[in-house]
Chains A and B, each alone.
Chain A
Amino acid sequence: MTPTADAPRAEIRDLRIVVRASGEAVVPGIDLTVEAGRIVGLAGETGSGKSTLGLSLLGYVAPGLDVRAGTVRVNGQPVVGEGVQNLRSVRGRTVSYVPQDPSSALNPSLRVGDIVREVMAAHGVLDRGAQRRRAQELFSAVGLPADASFHRRYPHELSGGQKQRVAIAVAFALDPAVVVMDEPTTGLDVSTTRKVVSLVREMSARTGSSVVFVSHDLRLLMSFADRILVMRGGEIVEDVPASRFAEAATHPYSRKLLASLPDTTTLAPRRYRRAGTYALELAAVSARYGKTTATHAVSLRVPTGECLALVGESGSGKTTLARCVAGFHSDYDGDVLVADAVLPRAVERRALAQRRAVQYVFQNPHASLNPRRSVGDSVALAAATLGGLPRRQAWSRAREMVERVGLRADHMVALPHELSGGQCQRMALARALAAQPDVLVCDEVTSSLDVSVQAGIVDLLQDLQKERRLSMLFITHDLTLARVVAENTAVLLDGTVVEYGDSQSVLQAPRHDYTRRLVEAAQATHDQM
């Protein structure tokens, strides 16, 4: 079979992949055709089989999984099923791969120039001059500096966005028929993500390569893909053009995904209450890491019972500030005040009542629970130490909190790895609540979760805030989310507050250039809907 220009670039026929041990189907039987030059978005939650499907295009099946039936062909060449031969000559040349985490994808001991040349050498481009010219071409195509000194850099000398650009350059190096991208923007901040996806578009247009883009971020896919497939339980439940997704998606699950996107247009403006006291106050906090200063005299106030969103990109110092509040980072000048009293810098030196008053919920729920202790014990431990409760009462307080966050008592005997990310985050929240805090510090609590799970957590936080008059410091990189949860928003850029006011006006009339760019980026993804 000779592929012509219009022939499909990738064809999956009746693919069935099962777990070897249990025989349970991960992909129960899928057909998929990817046309030339198209960008296909694969959306779905963790465990929906989207990565398994994407990787099958490379002829790769994760250990523990077995292909039971079906074929996969890329550019006419079989990579799964009958007649597979020499996968290595196909991978990298006909079909290439961009993984989720660029820092683990790039060999840390190779210079980036060599990383790009390596794939060419593997596929018979042996002339070093030709390799160098092509590498130069690729680097300038993906918007990286093309000068020789950049080629000599090591991956650890690049930013996350630059690393992902290098990974993309490697993927497009030999003009492959299909490029598979597995959540390539997960670790990146909003504006870098926008740049990366427009780069993907551009590279695809330039080389005619088709792209299969796996992501759990529906909003992102709607902004740049040609076609969106929604996966659920291994099946493709939706397959519509991206431009018409909002209207044309009919499957209940797709509707649910759509509904769980924060909608900025219909949101009623939150009223701005002037409370008498401040639950939390930061007075000219300058946090340091050794000799480098992470934040510059940041002053913020959270009125009692309200929420302040702290928005900024990775590296802006927002997490550092949150850690100063919690006492996990003690190298700072200035003061953190809770209920008008200055807190000691290190958490170890804070009195029990002061520790109880401030509770912290971490970004990664699995990492914040001791992997060798049942989650219920973790919650009860907080109730026992901070609430001063005896064992039995601590456990019943824990159960009350667990039920309050929407889990059942029988979840409490589980170990963290036995729960999903959303369940774990609810447990972490239950632990924080068990202490009966006055101030809750939420550090990107939704960013590692799937969209529909995110919405549930945000709802829960809002209910809790109202119900318990909790004051919150809500750290996020997502401006839209800030507006949904917080009365006030502060925007942080390089450790300095560049915008601070009620969320409504920050979003509608941003004063600083940087905020304007953030708002536009958020708007641009939103307008595609």
Chain B
Amino acid sequence: MNAANSTPVHDDRRTTVVARMLRDPRSVLGTVAVVLVVVPAVVGPHLATRDPEEFAGAPLLGPAAGHLLGTDILGRDVLTRLLAGGQTFIIQGALATLIGVTLGAGVGIAMAMLSRRASELLLSVNDTFIVIPQILVSLLVITRFGATPPVLVAVVALSHVAHTARVARAATSHVASSDYVLAAAGIGLSRRRIAAHELLPNVLPVLLVELGVRLAASFVLLASLNFLGFGSSGLEWGRMIEENKGGLAVQPLAVMAPVLVMAVFLIGMNLVRDGASRALAARSAR
């Protein structure tokens, strides 16, 4: 039996995904864009030489030596505020996404493991949540409980659950009907172990892509809430846009700077997500 004795060929799957992404100019570009925004945002508050609330000069000054990006409508330094406003924004968005996607994945996998009738019933309830406008629900909750960081994170996280649950359910039902899941049931594994060891590893690639999509959606929702005045610190990029829109004609940089930073960040993240899903798809195709 020469067929039975040939030695299997090994490959390290993790490195191939990263290697594939490194070969793809789009994901490299995306990573650079994300790093360019995240690093200054995280270390920014420590770099700043002045207080973001300090009145540094006359209102709506153009770029000059003391103020690289000019001053805002109240005369505060735009660059300082830009550096200070990113940290909470990025942390809140990332945290909300992680919580939301984890919850959604749990709900979705659980739905896929229920009987068909129960699963379909829950799915229609779930779909009802999807069609409710997220921003309205968020505004309602924040008005009631206040725009504290935990409330903001919770609101954004909850906005993802229904959507992620739908995606996770579809991916899981596909995996759940495969022979190896039947085989696992046949050897007597509990439902919990089947979910954790047979289903989860095999829907993970789909969930990773979903995580990327949700991450972008988190930041958009968070920025919109900030723009509407619901921020936990009053110092967010979204808030800056709103504050300075009156001076747009005189000092466009006060508005354009946060807009550009967010655009670079979101586009970068989408490129990374796209590259990752391509690399994962190429892996599972082999």
Contact = CB atoms under 8 A, between A and B. Distances in A.
Which of B187, B202, B286 has the most chain A CB within a 10 Å cutoff? B187
Contact of B182 (A328, A371, A410, A419): A328
A359 B186 contact: yes
Contact of B3 (A355, A370, A413, A456): A456
B125 interface: no
A31 interface: no
A370 B198 contact: yes
B183 A431 contact: yes
B9 interface: yes
B143 interface: no
Contacts of A315: none
Given A369-B180, A373-B201, A420-B6, A327 B186 contact: yes
B203 to A, nearest CB: 10
A418 B179 contact: no
A406 interface: yes
A386 interface: yes
A373 B178 CA distance: 15
B185 A372 contact: no
Nearest to B182: A328
Interface string B140-170: 0000000000000000000000000000000
Contacts of A355: 186-188
Contact of A360 (B8, B186, B188, B201): B186
Interface string A344-368: 0001100010011011101110011
B15 interface: no
Interface in A165-216: none
Contacts of A407: 4-5
Given A364-B179, A385-B189, A370 B184 contact: yes
Nearest to B9: A418
Given A328-B186, A347-B185, A367-B179, A410 B3 contact: no
A112 interface: no
A175 B183 CA distance: 48
B186 A370 contact: no
Contacts of B184: 370, 381
A413 B7 CA distance: 11
Interface in B65-117: none
A314 interface: no
Interface in A81-97: none
Which of B3, B9, B189 has the most chain A CB within a 10 Å cutoff? B3
Interface in A370-415: 370-373, 378, 381-382, 385-386, 406-408, 410-411, 413-415
A370 B201 contact: yes
Interface extent on A, as a size class?
35 or more
B46 interface: no
Interface string A424-459: 001010010001000000000000000011001000
A372 B202 contact: yes
A359 B185 CA distance: 11
B192 interface: no
B179 A362 contact: yes
Interface string B197-237: 11001100000000000000000000000000000000000
Contact of A419 (B8, B178, B180, B187): B8
Contacts of B202: 370-372
B131 interface: no
A516 to B, nearest CB: 34
Contact of B180 (A352, A359, A367, A410): A367
Contacts of A418: 8-11
Given A435-B187, A453-B3, A370 B10 contact: no
A291 to B, nearest CB: 14
A422 interface: yes
Contacts of B13: 415
Interface in A147-176: none
B178 A420 contact: no
A372 B201 contact: yes
A370 B191 CA distance: 16
A367 B184 CA distance: 12
B152 to A, nearest CB: 36
Nearest to A459: B1
A417 interface: yes
Contact of A426 (B4, B8, B286): B4
B193 to A, nearest CB: 9
Contact of A370 (B5, B180, B185, B286): B180
B182 to A, nearest CB: 5
A236 interface: no
Interface string B117-145: 00000000000000000000000000000
Interface of B: 1, 3-11, 13, 178-180, 182-189, 191, 197-198, 201-202, 286
Interface of A: 326-328, 347-348, 352, 355-356, 358-360, 362-364, 367-373, 378, 381-382, 385-386, 406-408, 410-411, 413-415, 417-420, 422-423, 426, 428, 431, 435, 452-453, 456
Given A373-B201, A411-B8, A414-B10, 7 more contacts: A326-B182, A327-B185, A328-B182, A352-B188, A418-B9, A420-B3, A456-B1
